[in-house]
Amino acid sequence: MSARQGFELRHVVHLARPLGRRAGDLEQLRAELLAAPIDALFHHAVQYQLRDPGAEQLCPDDLSAWIGGVVQDAETAERLSFVVQGAQASPETLRAGMLEVLEAVPAKRRAERDAPEGSAFQFHGSVTLSFPTGTVLGEAHEVVDALLEADASVWFFHLVEEPWNTGGRAPLIEWLAARREERLAGWLAEAAASGLPIDKARARVLQRWRRSHIGRRLAEAALTPGAERREAGRQAIANLVRRTPRPERDS
């Protein structure tokens, strides 16, 4: 895509489909992950981020939650969760990382770490339906407001799902870089990979964007006459105070 072209934002919905495959213990989970289709990996270890975008902390992926809550193996659940959060840009990297965690558990123990009757892990796949939002970005500064005002699925689609489907490439970030907005592109990539819930990641980008523009306005004001410069400085500081989140008080 040319840097001169606009960038159309899209949102996404996912339809879960049961695969008829299940795992009752860690050994069966290992075997199923070895053969699981990519859309099952996506549903259980990537798409879960979108289910509660306003959470205070990112909830565990489906697999880690089952291992920790049903199988009651907190150590393996923690190790698997760490791998999931760090390997989502590549299906095969994700699969290999999860298998490595499970294979580090001795085979006998994998079979002994089983779920109560009726609590087997049920595998689902995910069908993606993407739709245009009607918003076409023409300038880089429009990106921040658009991503904040849009549904959380827009953020997820462009900064999580598209890299998953394209070997790590993010067309939105590439479009920004082509327009020489490398800093904003870097902030978005960093926030998307931060492990934060979507709303918190978006708020972090907004805060950094606003602070960078306050600094630029202060620099520009240094070139203006004294009275105008003092007024610009006061206004910039006042804006920073209003926009900086206040720390929550203990109840």
pLDDT in tens, 212-223: 875 444 444 445
Asked if residue 251 belongs to a domain, the reply is no
Per-residue pLDDT at 146: 92
- Closest among 39, 47, 48 to 19, alpha carbons compared: 39
3 state SS of 132: strand
Hunting for tokens 């565990």 — which residue is that? 60
- Closest among 166, 153, 216, 185 to 3, alpha carbons compared: 185
Per-residue pLDDT at 162: 93
- Measure the CA dihedral 55/60/66/67, to 10°: -150
- Closest among 29, 17, 16, 126 to 77, alpha carbons compared: 29
pTM confidence score = 0.81
Asked if residue 51 belongs to a domain, the reply is yes
Asked if residue 178 belongs to a domain, the reply is yes
3 state SS of 231: helix
Same domain, 110 and 211: no
Domain boundary among 126, 151, 173: 126
Same domain, 50 and 152: no
Same domain, 28 and 80: yes
Per-residue pLDDT at 251: 41
Same domain, 166 and 98: no
Per-residue pLDDT at 233: 55
3 state SS of 59: coil
Give the residue numbers spanning the domain of 117. 7-126
- Closest among 137, 219, 141, 135 to 180, alpha carbons compared: 141
Specify the number of domains making up the chain.
2
Per-residue pLDDT at 123: 98
Same domain, 111 and 176: no
Per-residue pLDDT at 226: 54
Same domain, 160 and 120: no
Task: Please list the ranges in the chain whose pLDDT falls under 50.
Answer: 1-3, 215-222, 250-251
Same domain, 32 and 120: yes
